[in-house]
Structure 1
Amino acid sequence: MLFCFLIEYCLISYDVWTILQIIVGCIISLFFPGYFFINSLFFDDELFTSLEKFGLYLVLSICIIGLLGLFISYTFGISSCNILWTLLLWNMFFSITIVIKRYNLLK
């Protein structure tokens, strides 16, 4: 009942694009930093089960975002632009390491 009330409140008070931005932003910030970090460290797929990997992705993403936020607050100051660029650089760095590892594995 409460969940339905919250959904109705969000649909009435927010635009559809705003709700879509919130959903996509939560998925990106709660999944990708941990996903890229785990896949760059543990490249072997047989080490963890898929459920363990998903749990590690979520938990590490929350920890990584907290640590990046702490780093940003002491260096640049917290703003939405700084958080966006820091997460972008983090994800790009570890996705490039994954691509390099896969390229070296194919050779």
Structure 2
Amino acid sequence: MKRTLLSGTRLVADTVLGHLLLVAGLVMLATPGPGLVTVVAGLAVLGRHYRWASRLRTIVLRRIRDAGTAVRARMGRRRADGHVVPVEEPHVDRDAA
């Protein structure tokens, strides 16, 4: 009896926490904050009990990884083509001092 109550309490707590993290992450996608990290954390908590959340977390992580790979490839092509803007030294007015 005690074990069943504990597992039921954990299910409710994980469900509430997971949904709170998921909603907070979605809000942070439009406002400042670590939105994607919070969404993935919410899906990870929900994924302990719900298969749909585990699958969705896998899809989100795969898309994040693919986007990072695409950005790195694009940056590599830009460097190879010589399109990188050189960093200029800040102008220091030596006569003012």
TM-score category of the 2 structures, normalised to the smaller one? 0.3 to 0.5
TM-score, reference length from structure 1? 0.32
Structure with the greater relative contact order (CA < 8 A, sep ≥ 6): 1 or 2?
A: 1
Find the structure with the greater CA-based Rg: 2
**Structure number having the greater helix percentage:** 1
TM-score, reference length from structure 2? 0.34
